[in-house]
Structure 1
Amino acid sequence: MKHLDKPTAAKGPFEQTRRSFLKGSAALAATGLVLDGARSPARAFAYEPYYTDDELETVVTSCAHNCGSRHMLVAHKKGDVIVRLSTDTGEYQGDARGTDTEEKPQLRACLRGRSYRARLYSAERLLYPMKRVGKRGEGKFKRISWDQALSEIAERMVYIRDKYGPQALVDQSYAGASYGVLHKSDQIEGLLGRFLGMFGCRTSSWSVPSYQGTTFSSRITFGTIEDGNEDDAFAHSKLIIMWGWNPAYTFHGGNTFYYMRLAKQRGCKFVLVDPQYTDSAAAYDAWWIPIRPNTDAAMMAGMAYHIWDNDWHDQEFIDRFVQGMDEGTMPDWAKGQESFKDYILGKSDGQPKTPEWASEICGVPAEDIKKLAEMYATTKPAALKASWAPGRNAYGEQYNRMAAALQAMTGNIGILGGCAEGVGKGWHAEAVAYPYDQWANVWYASIKSDRWAHIVLNYPNVTREEAGLWPRNDQWDGVVPNIRGIFWQGSDWFNQLTNINKEIAAIRKLEAEGDKESLFVCMDSTITPTGIWADYLLPIATHFERHDVALPWYKGHYYIHRPKVIEPMGESKTDFQVFTELAYRLGFGPAYNPRATRDYFWNPDPVDEAYLKAWWEEKVMHHQHVTWSWEEFKKRGVYKFVFDEPHVAFRDQIEKGVPFQTPSGKIEIFSTTLAQITDWTKTQYGYPIPAIPKWIEPWESLNSPKTEKFPFHMVSPHPRWRTHSIFNNIPWLRETFSQELTMNASDAKKLGIRTGDTVEVYNDRGTCVVPVYVTERCMPGVVVLHEGAWMDLAEDGTDRSGNPDFLTLDEPSPAGAFAYNTVLCDVRKTDRAHRPGWDQLATARSAVFRRDY
C-alpha cells in the first residue's frame, strides 16, 4: 500500500543519528544530576544547597489535569531541567506582587500540581515507543523505533477497518493529561476523534464517567451544560448546601475556597448532605446530614413536599419561567399528564412524598428533612450545589433533575448568590486552536463508554439498548460495533471504568483470536495500568514539553500561556505529531494538519506557534475583545478577565426574558423531549425515563434484600492526592495520603477490625485488598474507598492496591449515569498483602520496561 511507505523526506529523521540519540540520553541523564555548573564548598552540608532564584530561569505555565481547576505553575529551571515549581504570586499579569482580590484572585496550584516535577522525572516515565512481547497485561515490552511503531499501527488499522468495518476501533480519549487549546484529548473536540473520523473507523462514547447523569439533567432541564455561576457568586450566598460536594478535594472552580471563605465571613450558613463528614464540612462548620447512598432523590422529593405544604414556593417564578412544575404550567399538548406537583403530592400514584416517606428510604430523620427544606426555601439567596457524585449512581440523573426542581420552585436560578448547577460549566472559553470542521466528530457508532467490554464478550448477540447505541440517520443506525481495538489517549480508562474484571475478560477474548485481529494503543507520558494491557506504548510529551495555552476547568475566566519549558525527554512526541504522521501514512496528512508539512513530526514548533497565534488573534482578540497582542500574552504568561459583575448562569433569561435553550424556552421540569419519545429502544437511552423527576429504586442499596449477603454500601469519591488515577505513583503524595477503606467505628467493632488492619472488600464481581481506617466521620453501613488506585493483580484476579472498580457494575443506567457509587459489598479481615502503589516498586517496574526481550 503506497500510503504506508516511509516518506522519502522523513527517512533520514526516522533513522535517527547517533548524535541525536546521545543528545536525548544526555538530557535524560541530567534529570538525575540537576546541580550542574559551579559548585560551592560543602562546608557543613552533606548535600549541595538548592540554586537561588537569581541562578534560575523562571517560566510561567500551568497544570494540565482535571482536578477541578487548572492553576498556574511557575517552573524554575537550570538549563533544560526543571529544578522546582512555584505558583501564582499575583504579579504575572502586570499587577503588583501579592495582588489577590475578589475580582482578580491568584491562581494558586494545589499539592498535586506542585508535585508535578516528581511525575515528570518519575521512573515510570515513558520515553520510547514500546511493543508488547508478552501476553496482554503481563507487562513485557521491548523498545522499538517510531518508524516501526507507526508503520505497524497503520498497517493493523487498515486491516481491521477493511475486515471488521468502520466501527471496529474505539476512541477512548479523555482530558486527563492532554488538555489545551491545541493539544486536546476529549471525546467531542479531540485530536483522536478527528483522526479516526478522517480515517473512516471510529466508535465514540457518548457518556462521560464523571457526570453523564448530570449532563443529561442539565440538557433536558435547561438546554445546556453551561448552567454554572462563576465561583465569585458563592461569596454572595446566604446559604450553601454542599450536596455530595467536597470542594476541599474537588474544587469545581479555580478559587472555590477563596470565595466560600468570603461567604462564611459574611454570615453564610453551610450544610453538607453526604454519607461522610468531609474536610469541607469541618472547614465551614457545616451542619452534617448523613444520608444513605443513592437515596438523594427521595430526600429531595420530601423537601419539595414540605415546601409546597407550607406555601414556601415561588409561584411567580414558576409561572414565568418553568414548564411542568404544576398543573398550571403544563403545556397545552400535555394537559392531563402528570406534573411534578402531582407526583410529589401523590395524586398520580397514591403515595404522597412526605418527609416521613422520604425518611424511611434515605435514613435522614423527617424533622431534619423539614428543617433543611425550610432553610432553603426561606433563605434568599441560597445555593443548592448539587454535585456530580450522587449522580454517579444507577438512575443518577433523577437526583440532578430533582435538585433542579428544588432550585426552580424556590426561585434560586439566575440570581446572584443562587445556583442552578448541575454540570456547573461557567464562563465560555475559546477552546480550540486547530482545525475543527465537519471531520472533527465523525463516528460510525457511539456507545456508552463502559459497555465496550460487554459488547466484545457478547458480540453479535448484543441489543442496541445494552450497548447504549446512539441513533443515526444512515445505514449504521442500530448496528452494534464489532469492536477490535481501542486507542487510549490522555486517559487511563482500563483502570477507571466500571467492572474491571469484565474488561480483562474482554481483552483476553480478543487476544485469543490472534494479535493481528485486534489493536490496543496507549498514548501517554507515563506507564499506567492501562498501558500494561496495550500492544503499543507511544511516549507523549507532557505539557512542559510542548507549546499550548491552558484553559480553565469548567469555571474560572483566564488563559495561561503554556510554553515549551524543556525539550521533550527521550523520544517523546506530542499527540498532534503522532496523529499527523499516522495521517500521512494513511493518506490524509495535509487534510488532518493543513498548516504542517511532512516534517512536522520532527519540527512542530513553528506550526504550533502559527496555530496558537491565529487562535489568539482571530478568536480571543476578535470575539472576546482582548487588546493584548499574542506577544504580550506570551510575555506576561496569564490573562485574567475582570468582569463588571459576577457571572451568573441564566441571569439574562430571568432579567431580560431571553428564552432558555429548551424546546419550550422555559426551565423544563416536565421534559418536552422525554414526553414525546414513543420507542425508547431507538434512542441511546434504551429504556424509559420519566418526563418529570422521580425517585427510582437503584439496583443495589441499603434498602435492598441483597444486603443479607453484602451488608455495606461502598462509595468511591475522588481523593485529594490524585486526579482520578493521575499522580498515584508520586511518592511525595503517597507520603501524605494512603489508599484505605474508611469504615464507621460501630461497624468495625462488630467485625473486630481496627485502624491499620488489612481487609478484603468483596462482592460477586471482584475483590480488593486495602488497609482500613476506623472513624465516626462515616455513617454506619457505608464504607468509603477513593477511586483511582493503580490496579495490582494477584494470580487469582484479586486487586491488591485497593481499586474499587473491581467491585463496580457496568449495567446500563438509561440516561448514561455511571453507577460507580451503586455498590453493595462485604468486608473481612485478611492476612493477604496490600501492595499500595507503584511508587514502592518503581525501580523494578521500570526495569521491566527497559529490558530487551
Structure 2
Amino acid sequence: MTIHDRPEAVDTPQSQSRRAFLKTTAATATAGLVLGAGAEEAKAFAYEPYPTDDELETVVTSCAHNCGSRHMLVAHKKGDVIVRLSTDNGAYQGDAYGTDTEEKPQLRACLRGRSYRLRLYSPERLLYPMKRVGKRGEGKFKRVSWDQALTEISQRMVHLKDTYGPTAIVDQSYAGASYGVLHKSDQIEGLLGRFLGLFGCRTSSWSVPSYQGTTFSSRTTFGTIEDGNEDDAFAHSKLIIMWGWNPAYTFHGGNTFYYMRMAKQRGCKFVLVDPQYTDSASAYDAWWIPIRPNTDAAMMAGMAYHIWDNGWHDQDFINRFTQGMDPGTMPAWAQGQESFQDYISGRSDGVPKTPEWAAEICGVSADDIKKLAEMYATTKPAALKASWAPGRNAYGEQYNRMAAALQAMTGNIGVLGGCAEGVGKAWHAEAVAYPYDEFSNVWYASIKSDRWAHIVLNYPNVSREEAGLWPRNDHLDGVIPNIRGIFWQGSDWFNQLTNINKEIAAIRKLDSYGEGESLLVCMDSTITPTGIWADYLLPIATHFERHDVALPWYKGHYYIHRPKAIEPMGESKSDFQVFTELAYRLGFGPAYNPKANRDYFNNPDWVDEAYLVDWWHNVQSHQGVTWSWEEFKKRGVYKFVLPEPHVAFRDQIEHGVPFNTPSGRIEIFSTTLAQTPDWTRTQYGYHIPAIPKWIEPWESLNHPLTEKFPFHMISPHPRWRTHSIFNNIPWLRETFSQETTMNASDARKLGIQTGDIIEAWNDRGKVVTPVYVTERCMPGVVVLHEGAWMDLDENGVDRAGNPDFLTDDNPSPAGAFAYNTVLCNIRKSDMSHRPGWDQLSTARSHVFRRDL
C-alpha cells in the first residue's frame, strides 16, 4: 500500500480525545514560553545536549578483532570520553574527501566495529582485578589489589612448575582482544607464549580452530599459508564459486564486497555451494547448490572426474607445475604409487569417482555436478574460493586438498582472477614490535588445542595420538603433560572449543586437586563465559586505551595507527604491562621487556612508543614506506598502492620460481606424507593419505546414527559477533537473535513454527533456542551460529544456545576441528530460552561489582 492508497482517516472518540490532549498541552507549553510568569525556561533535553562535531576531538584508530578484517574506526571524543564512532571517509591519508578507488579503497568499519562504544562502556567491563570466592563456575568474585593478584598468581606458578614440571601450565592465548604489532595475544608470536617460555613452564596449543585443516592443506600442497590473492583480484574473475563462503558475514578482507561488486558489474557469474542459501547468494544472484555437510570432498572428486573425462583439464599446467596429479607427474622415487588421477578414475581402488557416485554421497544431482565442473573448467579466469567452514569437519583437510587439486588441474593458480586460496594469507605485513627472540615460541609440550580436557580427565592414561602431541628431540618427547594451570589471554576458549561439557568436567577435576594445586587465569577487558570459571580475572585495557598499530587481517595492504584514545578505565592494564610485572616478580623482567624498567606497570607510554618507532623503521626499510613516524601518527593510516594486484604464486607460474615444497611443485601427491614412516610419532598421530581423498566422517547424514539423531547441525560464524565477542552488545542483539534455522518441511513434520522454542540435543549435550523456519536451508540440516555465551541451568542444559555443547573433540588426523560434524535431534520445547547475557546486559554485572 502506498501513501496515496491509504483510506481517509476516520474520527473516533479516541482520536478526538488524543487531538484535544495534544492541543491542550501545546497551548500550555506555548503560554509558559511566552508569558514566563513564574515558569522555568523550557528545556529541549533532560540532559546535556549531544555534542556537535566542532566540540569533539577526532582520533583515527581501528577495530582489534578477527572478524574478517581490521577496519578503520574514528573515535570522536570529548575530554576522556568517546561519544561516537565513525569510519574511513577517504581523506585520512591526505587524499580528497570521499576518495574510494580500486587502488586505494576506503577501510569502512562493519556494524560490529561501529558498535564498539557499547563494549568499551559495557556494564560488564572488567575494571579491577578479581579473585574467585565462590564455587567454580558460580560467578562469585571479590575485588583485590593488583599486588595481591599478581603475588598470588606468581607464587602459584612457581609451585606448579616445581611440583608438576615444565608442562603444567597451558597457554590458551588467542587473538580475541589483543591483536596489534605490540600488544599481541597469539599462539605463535604472542606475549603470553614468550612469557611462559622464559619462565620455563609452557604447554602450547598448536592447532587453530578456524582453519587447522586448511593450514595443513596449504602447507602440504603449496609449502606456505600465504596462498591468497589480495581481494582486488576478485574484480577480474569471470566466475566466483563461493564454496562454504558467506562474505556478507566473514569477508576475509577489508574490501571484499567492493571488489566482488566490481566483478558482478563486469559480468562475473556467481555460484554458492552451501547447505544454506546465504545473504551473499542473494546479493550476487548466485546459483545455489545445496550440499550435505561434510561431503564436499566427494562432490569435488566428481567434478575432477568429469573434467578429466571431457578433456577440460590444463595438461600443460599439470606437467609444468604439479607433482602427482597424474601418473606422468609422479616423482621417480614413487613410480607405481597411486596418483590423484589413479584415485579419481578408479584405477587404484576399482571405484570411479563419477558425478553419479558423488551424487549419492553429497545429495547434489549428477547433472548439477557436471554443470558446475564444466563452468569452472571452461571459464577463464575462475576463482574457486574454498572457504574455511567445510574444512571445520572431520577430515576437513581432504576438502581443502581436493579444492587445491581442482584449482591446479584447471590452471587457475597464479593468474589474475583465479584463486589458489586455502588459508588465504596475502600481502605480507610486518607483524611484531616487541622482542621476538629464541624464547618467543619455546614450549615444553604442544597439544591439539581442544584436547586439553581429554588429557586432564584421563591423565596419565593418554596416548600421544589422543593428545595430538607434537614431537620433540629431547627427554620430554611423548611425555603427556600433567596440566594444572591455564592462562586464557585474549581468548574465550572455554566457550569456543568443542565439547564444552567435557571441558566443564575437566575444570571440576582440576578443582578437586585442592587449594593451590591448580591455577586458572583469565585476562580480558570484559566478563566472559570463560572468566566465570577462572580463579583470577585480570582487567585488560582495550585497544582504545593503549598505544599500538593495527595490522590487516589476512587481506588488505595498510597499517592503521592506534593511539591511546582515552586513559584506561578503572585499573585496567595492557597484557604487556601485566606480563612484564609478573616477569619481574619471577626474576626475568629485563629479559622479557628490555626497553622497560620496573615502573612500566605504572608508566608504559614511552616504552610502547619506543618499540613502535623501531617497528616503523623496520617497515620503512623492508617495505619502502616513505612517511616518518610522526607523519604516520598524524595521518592515522598508511595505505600501500601496489603496482599490480597481488596474486599468490604469480612468480612461480610466470617466472619459474620454485614452490616452497620438497619437490618445488604444487604437491597433489605429498612428498612428506608419502615418506612418513611412523604416524604415531607425528603431531597428527594417524595416517593421512598422500593424495586428496574422500573419507567418510564419523557423523553425517549418510551415517546409521541418523536413526537416533536425524539432523546435521552446522555452526557458521554470525554477522553480529566475532566468535563470542560482541555477544553482549544490545544494539547488535536488537538486530539479530541466537536462533536455530531449519527447513520448512522438517519443521512441518515436527509441528514447529517460527518463534517456537526448541531444544537440540545429542549424547554430548543439549541447547535451547528459538527457531526460524525457512526454505533457505536444505532439509535435514539445521543452522545454529557459533559464539553464544553459555548460560547453564541446574540440569546442565545451555539455555543460551551455544552449539559447542553438541560438538565433538574427537581429533581429526590433520588437526581440523570438527565443529560442523554434528548430528542431533530436534523437538519443540517447554523450556525457556535465556539470552540473558545479551538482551539483559546488566543482568549479571552486579556479581562483579561487590566485595565479598
TM-score by length of 1: 0.95
Residues 729, 841 of structure 2: 8 Å contact kept: no
Aligned to 2:711: 712
Letter in 2 for 1:325: M
Shift of 1:136: 1.1
What are the within-5 Å matches in structure 2 for residues 232-243 of structure 1?
232-243=232-243
Can you list the C-alpha shifts for 1:233-288, whole angstroms capped at 9, x where unaligned? 00000000000000000010000000000000000000000000000000000000
Aligned to 1:11: none
Q: Percent identity?
A: 88
Unaligned runs of 5+ in 1: 1-39
Residues 201, 443 of structure 1: 8 Å contact kept: yes
Letter in 1 for 2:142: K
Letter in 1 for 2:670: S
Residues 217, 401 of structure 1: 8 Å contact kept: yes
Aligned to 2:804: 805
- Specify the structure having the higher radius of gyration (Cα): 2
Q: Indicate how the Cα distance of structure 1 residues 41 and 647 shifts in structure 2: closer, same or farther if over 3 A, else same.
A: farther
Shift of 1:512: 1.0
Aligned to 2:130: 130
Shift of 1:428: 0.2
Shift of 1:852: 1.3
Cα distance between partner residues in 2 of 1:389 and 1:671: 23
- Number of residue pairs matched by the alignment: 813
Cα distance between partner residues in 2 of 1:271 and 1:353: 22
What are the within-5 Å matches in structure 2 for residues 179-328 of structure 1?
179-328=179-328
Residues 790, 837 of structure 1: 8 Å contact kept: no
Aligned to 1:596: 596
Residues 42, 48 of structure 1: 8 Å contact kept: no
Cα distance between partner residues in 2 of 1:493 and 1:56: 38
Shift of 1:515: 2.6
Residues 789, 837 of structure 1: 8 Å contact kept: no
Cα distance between partner residues in 2 of 1:41 and 1:804: 56
Shift of 1:842: 3.2
Can you list the C-alpha shifts for 1:485-544, whole angstroms capped at 9, x where unaligned? 100000000000000000000000110111311000000000000000000000000000
Cα distance between partner residues in 2 of 1:653 and 1:825: 46
- 1:796 is aligned to 2:795: yes
Aligned to 2:837: 838
Shift of 1:706: 0.1
Cα distance between partner residues in 2 of 1:42 and 1:267: 60
State the secondary structure of the residue aligned to 1:173: coil
Cα distance between partner residues in 2 of 1:347 and 1:844: 63
Cα distance between partner residues in 1 of 2:187 and 2:718: 24
Q: Indicate how the Cα distance of structure 1 residues 749 and 120 shifts in structure 2: closer, same or farther if over 3 A, else same.
A: same
Aligned to 2:459: 459
State the secondary structure of the residue aligned to 1:695: coil
Letter in 1 for 2:356: E
Cα distance between partner residues in 1 of 2:803 and 2:470: 29
Cα distance between partner residues in 2 of 1:230 and 1:839: 35
Letter in 2 for 1:305: Y
Aligned to 1:153: 153
- 1:170 is aligned to 2:170: yes
Q: CA RMSD in A?
A: 0.8
Letter in 2 for 1:504: I
Q: Indicate how the Cα distance of structure 1 residues 599 and 42 shifts in structure 2: closer, same or farther if over 3 A, else same.
A: farther
Cα distance between partner residues in 1 of 2:817 and 2:404: 20
Residues 728, 837 of structure 1: 8 Å contact kept: no
Residues 730, 841 of structure 2: 8 Å contact kept: no
- 1:432 is aligned to 2:443: no
Letter in 1 for 2:849: R
Aligned to 2:101: 101
Residues 714, 822 of structure 1: 8 Å contact kept: yes
Can you list the C-alpha shifts for 1:428-484, whole angstroms capped at 9, x where unaligned? 000000100000000000000000000000000000000000001111110110000
State the secondary structure of the residue aligned to 1:652: helix
Shift of 1:44: 3.6
Residues 453, 503 of structure 1: 8 Å contact kept: yes
Unaligned runs of 5+ in 2: 1-39
Aligned to 1:685: 684
Cα distance between partner residues in 2 of 1:837 and 1:384: 41
Cα distance between partner residues in 2 of 1:555 and 1:176: 18
State the secondary structure of the residue aligned to 1:259: helix
Cα distance between partner residues in 1 of 2:639 and 2:201: 40
Aligned to 1:532: 532
State the secondary structure of the residue aligned to 2:420: coil
Can you list the C-alpha shifts for 1:572-608, whole angstroms capped at 9, x where unaligned? 0000000000000000000000000000000000000
Shift of 1:42: 5.9
Cα distance between partner residues in 1 of 2:199 and 2:832: 46
Letter in 2 for 1:652: D
Shift of 1:47: 4.9
Letter in 2 for 1:620: V
Cα distance between partner residues in 2 of 1:842 and 1:759: 23
Cα distance between partner residues in 2 of 1:41 and 1:698: 73
Cα distance between partner residues in 1 of 2:196 and 2:215: 25
Cα distance between partner residues in 2 of 1:348 and 1:205: 38
What are the within-5 Å matches in structure 2 for residues 337-736 of structure 1?
337-617=337-617, 619-736=618-735
Cα distance between partner residues in 1 of 2:370 and 2:88: 44
State the secondary structure of the residue aligned to 2:127: coil
Shift of 1:545: 0.1
Can you list the C-alpha shifts for 1:662-715, whole angstroms capped at 9, x where unaligned? 000000000000000111000001000000000000000000000000000000
Cα distance between partner residues in 1 of 2:426 and 2:840: 41
Cα distance between partner residues in 2 of 1:57 and 1:644: 36
State the secondary structure of the residue aligned to 2:842: helix
Cα distance between partner residues in 2 of 1:230 and 1:789: 31
Can you list the C-alpha shifts for 1:597-649, whole angstroms capped at 9, x where unaligned? 000000000000000001001x1101101110000000000000001110000
TM-score by length of 2: 0.95
Cα distance between partner residues in 2 of 1:281 and 1:421: 20
State the secondary structure of the residue aligned to 2:608: helix
Aligned to 1:50: 50
Cα distance between partner residues in 2 of 1:205 and 1:41: 65
Cα distance between partner residues in 1 of 2:104 and 2:277: 32
State the secondary structure of the residue aligned to 1:508: helix
Cα distance between partner residues in 2 of 1:563 and 1:703: 54
Cα distance between partner residues in 2 of 1:446 and 1:223: 22
Letter in 2 for 1:297: A
Cα distance between partner residues in 1 of 2:132 and 2:843: 18
Aligned to 2:74: 74
Letter in 1 for 2:71: H
Can you list the C-alpha shifts for 1:114-158, whole angstroms capped at 9, x where unaligned? 000000000100000000001110000000000000000000000
Cα distance between partner residues in 2 of 1:699 and 1:484: 31
State the secondary structure of the residue aligned to 1:614: helix
Cα distance between partner residues in 2 of 1:569 and 1:41: 37
Aligned to 2:741: 742
Cα distance between partner residues in 1 of 2:504 and 2:41: 56
State the secondary structure of the residue aligned to 2:142: strand
Can you list the C-alpha shifts for 1:275-312, whole angstroms capped at 9, x where unaligned? 00000000000000000000000000000000000000
Letter in 2 for 1:505: A
- 1:121 is aligned to 2:159: no
Cα distance between partner residues in 2 of 1:852 and 1:526: 18
State the secondary structure of the residue aligned to 1:515: coil
State the secondary structure of the residue aligned to 2:582: helix
Cα distance between partner residues in 1 of 2:845 and 2:518: 26
Residues 836, 843 of structure 2: 8 Å contact kept: no
Aligned to 1:3: none
Residues 733, 839 of structure 2: 8 Å contact kept: no
Shift of 1:652: 0.2
Letter in 1 for 2:589: G
Cα distance between partner residues in 2 of 1:499 and 1:633: 45
Q: Indicate how the Cα distance of structure 1 residues 655 and 519 shifts in structure 2: closer, same or farther if over 3 A, else same.
A: same
- 1:141 is aligned to 2:137: no
Letter in 2 for 1:843: T
